[in-house]
Chain A
Amino acid sequence: MIRRIAQILATLSLLLIAGGAALAEMRLNLQDPQTVIAHEIYNLHNIILLICAVIFVIVFGAMLIAIVKHRKSVGHRAEQFHENTTVEILWTVIPFLILVGMAYPSTKTLLVMRDTSASDMTIKATGYQWKWRYDYLEDDVSFYSNLSTPRDQIQNLAPKGEHYLLEVDNPVVVPVGKRIRVLTTANDVIHAWWVPAFGVKQDAIPGFVRDAWFKVDAPGTYRGQCAELCGKEHGFMPIVIEAVSEDQYKTWVAEQKAKKSQASSTSAADANKTFTLDELKAQGEKVYTKSCIACHQANGQGMPPAFPSLVGGKISTGPLAGHLDIVVNGSKKNPVMVAWKNQLSDLEIASVITYERNSFGNKTGDMVQPKDVAALRK
Chain B
Amino acid sequence: MEAAHGHAHDHEHAHHPSGIMRWVTTTNHKDIGTMYLWFSFIMFITGGVMALTIRAELFSPGLQIVQPEFFNQLVTMHGLIMVFGAIMPGFVGFANWQIPLMIGAPDMAFARMNNWSFWLLPPAAILLVGSFLAPGGATAAGWTLYAPLSVQMGPGMDMAIFALHIMGASSIMGSINIITTILNMRAPGMSLMRMPLFVWGWLITAYLLIAVMPVLAGAVTMVLTDRHLDTHFFNAAGGGDPVMYQHIFWFFGHPEVYIMILPAFGIVSQIIPAFSRKPLFGYSSMVYAMSSIAILSFIVWAHHMFTVGMPAAGLLFFMYATMLIAIPTGVKVFNWVSTMWKGALSFEAPMLFAIGFIFLFTVGGFSGLVLAIYPIDVQAQDTYYVVAHFHYVLVSGALFAMFGGVYFWIPKWTGHMYDEKLAQWHFWLSFIFFNMAFFVQHFLGLAGMPRRVPDYALQFADFNRISTIGAFGFGLSQLLFLYIVLKCIRGGAKAADKPWEGAEGLEWTLPSPPPYHSFETPPVVK
Which A residues fall within an 8 A CB radius of B?
Answer: 1-2, 5, 9, 12, 23, 25-31, 37, 40-41, 44-45, 48-49, 52, 55-56, 59-60, 62-63, 66-67, 70-73, 76-84, 87-88, 91-92, 95-96, 99, 102-103, 106-107, 109-111, 113-114, 153-156, 160, 162-166, 184, 188-190, 192, 194, 196, 199-203, 205-208, 210-211, 223-236, 303, 305-306, 335-336
Contacts and interface: CB of A to CB of B under 8 A. Distances in A.
A22 to B, nearest CB: 10
Contacts of A48: 369-370, 373, 376
Contacts of B462: 23, 25-26
Given A81-B342, A235-B454, 11 more contacts: A70-B343, A77-B344, A78-B343, A79-B278, A82-B279, A103-B319, A162-B458, A196-B448, A203-B307, A206-B148, A303-B69
A201 B379 contact: yes
Nearest to B313: A114
B369 A52 contact: yes
Given A52-B370, A66-B342, A231-B140, A210 B72 contact: no
Nearest to B446: A30
B235 A82 contact: no
Contact of B457 (A2, A163, A230): A163
B116 interface: no
Interface string B412-454: 0000000000001000100010000000000100111010111
Interface string B247-283: 0000000000000000000000000000011111111
B232 to A, nearest CB: 10
Contacts of A114: 311-312, 315
Contact of A82 (B148, B282, B379): B282
Interface residues of B, number: 98
Interface of B: 61-64, 67-69, 72, 135-136, 140-142, 146, 148-149, 152, 154, 235-237, 241-243, 276-285, 307-309, 311-312, 315-316, 319-320, 323-324, 326-327, 330-331, 333-334, 337-347, 355, 358-359, 362-363, 366, 369-370, 373-376, 378-379, 381-383, 424, 428, 432, 443, 446-448, 450, 452-459, 462-463, 502
B446 to A, nearest CB: 5
Contact of A41 (B323, B341, B375): B375
A243 B32 CA distance: 64
A227 B381 contact: yes
Given A27-B443, A83-B283, A78 B455 contact: no
A52 B457 CA distance: 30
A298 B458 CA distance: 25
A150 B439 CA distance: 32
B328 to A, nearest CB: 8
Nearest to A114: B312
A164 B283 CA distance: 55
The 4 residue pairs across chains A and B that have the minimum distance between CB atoms: A207-B236, A235-B453, A210-B309, A82-B279
Contact of A92 (B140, B316, B331, B428): B331
A224 B453 CA distance: 14
B63 A71 contact: no
